[in-house]
C-alpha cells in the first residue's frame, strides 16, 4: 500500500468536499445549481471545461492506448485535441447567445416541440451513461494499483467504484454547478501538473523520445491478456491456434513455466499471457508500433477520429458549460483557452505512452516489482500505465501526485456529467412537465435527488464491466468506452445542432427523425461490436460486418444529417417565429434588441455583451 499516495488522494477528496460545502451559499436557485448563475469568466470557465473534458480516458486512457497500440493510440490525442475546433467555429457562441439552460432547451426553443425536448433528454442521459462507465472503470483500476485491497468486504476494484462514485455524488449534490466549477478548476490544474511531472521525470531519468520510438518499433506489438485455463486451450480465431500455442511463440520458456504450473494446479482465476498481434490493415505484415492497424480496420481508422472530432460538439456536459458564460463572446474566449490547455496536455500524453514501454521493461528486468499485473515486461492493463510510471520514476510522492490526478480527472468529468444528467431530469422533465409551479427550493431538491440516482446507476454499470469481461475483450478499455460516448453524442446531437443553428429550413420533424436515427443507429452498432468481441455473434454476413465496426460515426453521422435534410424538405413546416429564432441565434446584441422592441438605434452598451 502506498501511504503517501493515499494521503495525497485523501487530501484531494477533503479539499473537494470542503469547496463544495463552501459553495452551498451560492446555490439557492436553479440558475445557481445548474449554471453557477451564468457568472463564470472565460479563463475560469476554460479551466473548468478542460477539467470536465480531460476525463479518465484522457489522463489514463490516451497514454495507455499509445503504450498498447502505438500510432492507433495517438489518434485519440489528435481527435480529442481537434474536437474543440468544431465547437469554437460553429456551436459555442450561437448556443450561448440562444441562452436557456440545456441542450434540450435549445431543441425546444429552436423547433417548438415537446417531443424533441424529451428525445433530447433521453439522448443526454444515454450519452452521459456511456461516458460515466469508463470513469467508474478508471476508479476501480486506479484503486487496485494505489491501494491493492478492498474495504468493507469488497474487492479492490469494487471499492474504488463505490467510494469514488459516492464522493462525487455527494459533492455535486451539495455544491451544484458553482461547487462543481470551482472543483473542476482545481482538479484540472492538478491533473495537468501530474501529467507534466511524469514527462519531466521521464526525461530526467534519461528518456530519449526518438530513440525510444525506434526501439519500440524493432519488434511487432505484443498483446497482453489474462486468461483462464479453459480459455488458454480455446482456439484464437485470429490465428487458428490455441491461445496457449500463441503465447508460446512470444513468451520465454521461464514465463511459459508459470503458465504450465497454473494449468496443472487447477487453480481458479486467470493467468497473464503475451500474445501476437495482427495487422488489421495489412494482414501479411507485422504490426509495428509506428504504423496504423493494431486496433482499427480501414473503416474504424476514419470513424474513430471522426467520432472524437464530432463527438466533442455532442457532449451534453461540455455544451452545458457554455451556458455558464455571461455572453457569446465570453464563450468564444473560453474555447480559445481550452484549445491552449488541451493542446499542451495531448502533446504530453503520447510522450508518456512511448516512455512507458522502455521504462517498465527495464524496471522489471532489473528485478523490480509492481502492484499492477505484468507479463513479458508489459502491463496487462495499459490503463494502469500512469500510476505505475509515477511509482517507478518518482516513488511514493510522484505516484501520489499521479493517483490524485487520476482521481481528479474522474471527479471533474463525473461531476459535469452528473450536473448534465440532473439538469435533464430536474429541469427538462420535472420543471417542464411534472411540476411546472414548483418553488426554487423544490427544483433544487429534485436536481440533487437526480444527481444521487444517476450516480447509483453509473456505479452499477461500472461494477458490471469486469463481470461481463469487457476489460479483457478490449485493450485500453477506458479510451475505447469514452469514444463510444463520443460516437453516441456525435450521432445524436451534432446533426441536429449544426442544421438547427446553420440551416434555417430545418423542421422539427426533420430534426427529430435525424436524432432518432443517429441515437438508435450508434447504440445498436456499439452493442453489436461488444457482442462480437465477446464471441456471441460471428463475423460473417451483414450482421458480422456491422458488428466489426468499432465506432459507428462514419455511417451514423452522415445518415443523421441526410435524414434531417430529406425529412425537412418533405415536411416544409417551419416554426412560425423562425425569423425571430434566427435573429436570436445569429444576431448581435443590438440587432436582437431592435428586433424585440422595434427600435431603430440601440446604444453601444449592448454591443459589449456580444
What tens digit of pLDDT does each residue of 435-454 get? 888 887 787 788 888 888 88
Give percent above pLDDT 90 in the chain.
30
Q: Which of 112-126, 145-159, 503-517 has the lowest mean pLDDT?
A: 145-159
Rounded to an integer, the average pLDDT of 345-368 is: 93
Question: What is the three-class DSSP state of 226?
Answer: strand
Q: Which of 43-47, 103-107, 184-188, 554-558 has the lowest mean pLDDT?
A: 43-47
pLDDT per residue as tens digits for the range 217-264? 888 999 998 888 888 988 887 788 999 999 999 999 999 999 999 998
Confidence of residue 599 (pLDDT cuts 50, 70, 90): very low
Confidence of residue 506 (pLDDT cuts 50, 70, 90): very high
Instruction: Say whether pLDDT at 265 is over 90.
Output: no
Question: What is the three-class DSSP state of 274?
Answer: strand
The pLDDT score that the predictor gives to residue 257 is 94
Q: Which of 19-28, 95-104, 460-469 has the highest mean pLDDT?
A: 460-469
The pLDDT score that the predictor gives to residue 594 is 54
Question: What is the three-class DSSP state of 158?
Answer: helix
The pLDDT score that the predictor gives to residue 360 is 95
> Is there a contact between 570 and 564 (Cβ–Cβ < 8 Å)?
no
Confidence of residue 600 (pLDDT cuts 50, 70, 90): very low
The pLDDT score that the predictor gives to residue 400 is 86
CA distance linking residue 599 with residue 209, whole number of Å: 63
The pLDDT score that the predictor gives to residue 385 is 92
Instruction: Say whether pLDDT at 517 is over 60.
Output: yes
Instruction: Say whether pLDDT at 328 is over 70.
Output: no
Rounded to an integer, the average pLDDT of 42-60 is: 78
Confidence of residue 591 (pLDDT cuts 50, 70, 90): low
Residues of the chain with CATH 1.20.1730.10: 3-215+298-467
Burial class (CB in 10 A: 0-12, 13-18, 19+), 150: middle
CA distance linking residue 126 with residue 458, whole number of Å: 11
The pLDDT score that the predictor gives to residue 40 is 62
Instruction: Say whether pLDDT at 94 is over 90.
Output: no
Question: What is the three-class DSSP state of 204?
Answer: helix
> Is there a contact between 375 and 251 (Cβ–Cβ < 8 Å)?
yes
Q: Residue holding cell 490503463?
A: 383
Instruction: Say whether pLDDT at 531 is over 80.
Output: yes
Give percent above pLDDT 70 in the chain.
88
> Is there a contact between 279 and 220 (Cβ–Cβ < 8 Å)?
no
Give the architecture-level CATH label for domain 3-215+298-467: Up-down Bundle (1.20)
Q: Which of 442, 477, 529, 451 is nearest to 140 (CA)?
A: 477
The pLDDT score that the predictor gives to residue 41 is 66
CA distance linking residue 113 with residue 118, whole number of Å: 9
Single pTM value for the model: 0.79
Confidence of residue 158 (pLDDT cuts 50, 70, 90): very high
435 DSSP 8-state letter: -
Confidence of residue 37 (pLDDT cuts 50, 70, 90): very low
Instruction: Say whether pLDDT at 544 is over 70.
Output: yes
Amino acid at each position: 500500500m502506498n501511504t503517501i499516495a493515499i494521503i495525497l488522494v485523501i487530501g484531494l477528496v477533503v479539499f473537494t468536499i470542503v469547496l463544495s460545502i463552501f459553495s452551498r451559499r451560492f446555490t439557492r436557485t436553479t440558475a445557481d445549481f445548474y449554471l453557477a448563475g451564468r457568472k463564470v469568466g472565460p479563463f475560469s470557465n476554460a479551466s473548468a471545461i478542460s477539467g470536465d473534458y480531460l476525463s479518465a480516458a484522457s489522463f489514463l486512457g490516451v497514454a495507455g492506448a499509445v503504450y498498447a497500440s502505438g500510432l492507433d493510440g495517438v489518434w485519440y490525442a489528435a481527435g480529442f485535441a481537434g474536437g474543440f475546433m468544431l465547437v469554437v467555429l460553429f456551436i459555442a457562441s450561437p448556443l450561448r447567445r440562444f441562452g436557456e439552460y440545456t441542450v434540450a432547451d435549445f431543441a425546444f426553443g429552436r423547433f417548438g416541440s415537446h417531443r424533441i425536448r424529451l428525445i433530447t433528454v433521453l439522448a443526454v442521459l444515454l450519452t452521459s451513461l456511456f461516458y460515466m462507465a469508463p470513469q467508474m472503470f478508471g476508479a476501480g483500476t486506479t484503486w487496485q494499483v494505489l491501494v491493492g485491497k478492498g474495504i468493507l468486504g469488497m474487492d479492490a476494484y469494487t471499492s474504488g467504484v463505490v467510494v469514488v462514485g459516492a464522493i462525487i455524488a455527494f459533492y455535486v449534490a451539495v455544491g451544484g454547478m458553482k461547487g462543481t466549477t470551482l472543483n473542476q478548476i482545481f482538479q484540472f490544474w492538478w491533473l495537468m501538473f501530474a501529467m507534466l511531472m511524469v514527462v519531466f521525470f521521464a526525461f530526467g531519468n534519461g528518456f530519449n523520445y526518438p530513440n525510444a520510438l525506434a526501439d519500440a518499433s524493432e519488434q511487432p506489438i505484443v498483446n497482453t491478456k489474462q486468461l483462464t485455463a479453459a480459455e488458454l486451450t480455446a482456439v484464437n480465431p485470429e490465428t487458428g491456434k490455441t491461445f496457449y500455442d500463441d503465447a508460446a511463440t512470444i513468451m520465454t520458456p521461464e514465463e511459459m513455466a508459470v503458465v504450465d504450473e497454473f494449468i496443472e494446479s487447477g487453480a481458479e482465476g486467470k493467468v497473464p499471457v503475451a500474445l501476437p498481434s495482427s495487422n488489421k490493415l495489412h494482414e501479411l505484415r507485422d504490426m509495428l508500433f509506428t504504423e496504423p492497424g493494431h486496433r482499427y480496420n480501414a473503416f474504424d481508422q476514419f470513424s474513430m477520429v471522426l467520432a472524437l472530432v464530432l463527438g466533442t460538439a455532442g457532449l451534453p456536459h461540455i455544451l452545458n458549460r457554455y451556458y455558464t458564460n455571461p455572453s457569446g463572446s465570453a464563450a468564444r474566449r473560453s474555447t480559445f483557452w481550452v484549445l491552449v490547455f488541451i493542446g499542451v496536455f495531448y502533446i504530453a500524453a503520447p510522450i508518456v505512452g512511448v516512455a512507458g514501454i522502455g521504462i517498465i521493461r527495464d524496471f522489471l528486468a532489473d528485478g523490480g516489482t509492481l502492484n499492477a499485473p505484468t507479463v513479458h515486461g508489459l502491463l496487462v492493463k495499459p490503463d494502469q500505465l500512469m500510476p505505475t510510471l509515477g511509482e517507478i520514476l518518482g516513488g511514493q510522492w510522484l505516484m501520489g501526485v499521479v493517483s490524485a490526478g487520476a482521481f481528479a480527472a474522474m471527479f471533474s468529468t463525473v461531476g459535469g456529467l452528473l450536473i448534465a444528467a440532473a439538469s435533464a431530469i430536474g429541469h427538462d422533465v420535472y420543471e417542464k412537465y411534472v411540476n411546472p409551479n414548483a418553488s426554487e427550493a423544490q427544483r433544487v431538491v429534485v436536481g440533487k435527488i437526480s444527481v444521487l440516482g444517476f450516480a447509483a446507476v453509473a456505479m452499477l454499470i461500472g461494477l458490471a464491466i469486469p463481470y461481463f469481461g469487457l476489460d479483457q475483450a478490449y485493450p485500453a478499455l477506458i479510451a475505447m468506452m469514452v469514444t463510444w460516448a463520443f460516437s453516441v453524442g456525435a450521432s445524436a446531437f451534432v446533426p441536429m445542432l449544426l442544421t438547427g443553428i446553420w440551416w434555417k429550413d430545418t423542421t422539427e420533424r426533420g430534426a427529430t427523425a435525424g436524432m432518432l436515427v443517429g441515437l438508435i443507429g450508434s447504440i445498436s452498432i456499439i452493442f453489436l461490436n461488444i457482442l462480437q468481441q465477446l464471441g456471441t455473434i460471428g463475423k460473417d454476413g451483414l450482421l458480422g460486418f456491422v458488428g466489426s465496426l468499432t465506432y459507428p460515426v462514419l455511417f451514423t453521422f452522415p445518415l443523421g444529417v441526410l435524414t434531417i435534410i430529406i425529412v425537412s424538405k418533405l415536411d416544409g413546416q417551419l416554426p412560425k417565429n423562425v425569423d425571430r429564432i434566427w435573429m436570436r441565434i445569429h444576431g448581435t446584441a443590438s440587432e436582437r434588441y431592435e428586433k424585440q422592441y422595434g427600435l431603430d438605434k440601440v446604444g453601444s452598451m449592448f454591443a459589449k455583451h456580444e
